[in-house]
């Protein structure tokens, strides 16, 4: 595995240190150069990514395969906490992207990550309701109406931790009927009519347009998650992994992410 790293300029916010102190921006990425060995025919790069990245990363993956003939991008989309657990149990992967810094820190402190993770996008929360809005939800406080069936993410996953932040800021305490391991699971329960409302990401609501309706959470009480990406220390294809990371951080990846509803660098 190549050990070359590019240092961030001091003028960038923070230093190339622990993720919790300073998530590096896209300007810290290292693009593939002519000196990088080309991937072998039939190569594969495996990406573990937060479920809220499914649509955007799938699009980026297709473009990556186009630009790297003979290479296949395999994805494992799930809740960030579940993905860390899988990696800790030895699941093989090359690239890791989480829905918050805290979860990436767990991977970093346990030696799963090679180099310094880099922030590539942010996401905030939104209330999702069925198109008919049976609970007549208008704002976050309405989620506590008697008889309202609300679904949220479990506190141990990024969207759940973010929901708890909104609860603290608003002084509203939710009593969910279910706590899920990923935002997509919350979204699916709302879309199927199993719940009157759910708290998910802005990007989830955009992706499910027509199946759910989004209700904004006021900016001053909302929670914003930074999404970091990193090459894994156990990667069997470190060059491809670095190149995939560079595509996410580069103009094409940032455009795809913005189209999906993420705020980008």
For residue 127, pLDDT over 80 is answered with yes
Average pLDDT (126-150) is 97
CA gap 151, 198 in Å, rounded:
5
- Residue 179 contacts residue 111 (beta carbons within 8 Å): no
Average pLDDT (90-111) is 96
**Residue 125: pLDDT band with limits 50, 70, 90:** very high
CB atoms inside a 10 Å sphere around CB 36: 15
Residue 102 φ/ψ, nearest 5 degrees: -60, -40
The residues facing 179 across adjacent strands are 152
| pLDDT in the model for residue 265 | 72
Nearest to 123 by CA among 204, 233, 220, 44: 204
Domain at 44-122+226-264, CATH homologous superfamily: Periplasmic binding protein-like II (3.40.190.10)
Give the pLDDT confidence of 142-194 residue by residue, as tens digits. 999 999 999 999 999 999 999 999 999 999 999 999 999 999 999 999 999 99
Average pLDDT of the chain to the nearest whole number: 87
Give the pLDDT confidence of 4-52 residue by residue, as tens digits. 333 333 233 333 333 343 343 333 333 333 344 444 445 999 999 999 9
CB atoms inside a 10 Å sphere around CB 40: 12
Structural domain spans, the chain: 44-122+226-264, 124-221
- Residue 127 contacts residue 214 (beta carbons within 8 Å): yes
For residue 113, pLDDT over 90 is answered with yes
| pLDDT in the model for residue 42 | 59
Give the pLDDT confidence of 197-229 residue by residue, as tens digits. 999 999 999 999 999 999 999 999 999 999 999
| pLDDT in the model for residue 85 | 95
Nearest to 213 by CA among 229, 196, 231, 228: 196
- The better pLDDT of the pair 113, 4 is held by 113
| Three-state helix/strand/coil letters over the chain | CCCCCCCCCCCCCCCCCCCCCCCECHHHCCCCCCCCCCCCCCCEEEEEEEHHHHHHHHHHHHHHHHHCCCCEEEEEEECHHHHHHHHHCCCCCCEEECCCHHHHHHHHHCCCEEEEEEEEEEEEEEEEECCCCCCCCCCHHHHHCCCCCEEEECCCCHHHHHHHHHHHHHCCCCCCCEEECCHHHHHHHHHCCCCCEEEEEHHHHHHCECCEEEEECCHHHCCEEEEEEEEECCCCCHHHHHHHHHHHHCHHHHHHHHHCCCEEC
CA gap 205, 31 in Å, rounded:
32
Average pLDDT (245-265) is 96
Q: Topology of domain 124-221, per CATH? A: D-Maltodextrin-Binding Protein; domain 2 (3.40.190)
């Amino acid at each position: 595995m190549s050990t070359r790293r590019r240092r961030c300029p001091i003028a960038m916010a923070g230093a190339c240190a622990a993720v919790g102190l300073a998530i590096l921006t896209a300007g810290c990425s290292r693009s593939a150069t002519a000196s990088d060995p080309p991937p072998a025919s039939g190569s594969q790069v495996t990406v573990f990514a937060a479920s809220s990245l499914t649509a955007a990363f799938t699009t980026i993956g297709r473009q990556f395969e186009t630009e790297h003939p003979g290479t296949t991008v395999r994805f494992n989309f799930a809740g960030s906490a579940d993905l860390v657990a899988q990696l800790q149990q030895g699941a093989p992967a090359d690239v890791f992207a989480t829905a918050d810094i805290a979860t990436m820190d767990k991977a970093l402190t346990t030696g799963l990550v090679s180099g310094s993770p880099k922030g590539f996008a942010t996401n905030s929360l939104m209330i999702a309701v069925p198109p008919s809005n049976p609970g007549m939800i208008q704002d976050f406080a309405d989620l506590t109406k008697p008889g309202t069936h609300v679904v949220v993410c479990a506190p141990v996953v990024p969207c759940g931790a973010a929901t708890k932040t909104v609860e603290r800021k608003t002084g509203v305490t939710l009593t969910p009927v279910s706590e899920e391991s990923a935002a997509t699971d919350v979204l699916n329960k709302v879309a199927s009519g199993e719940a009157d409302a759910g708290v998910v990401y802005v990007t989830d609501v955009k992706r499910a347009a027509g199946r759910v309706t989004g209700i904004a959470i006021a900016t001053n009480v909302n929670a914003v998650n930074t999404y970091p990406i990193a090459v894994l220390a156990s990667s069997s294809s470190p060059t491809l992994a670095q190149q995939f990371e560079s595509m996410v951080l580069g103009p094409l990846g940032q455009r795809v992410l913005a189209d999906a509803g993420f705020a980008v660098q």
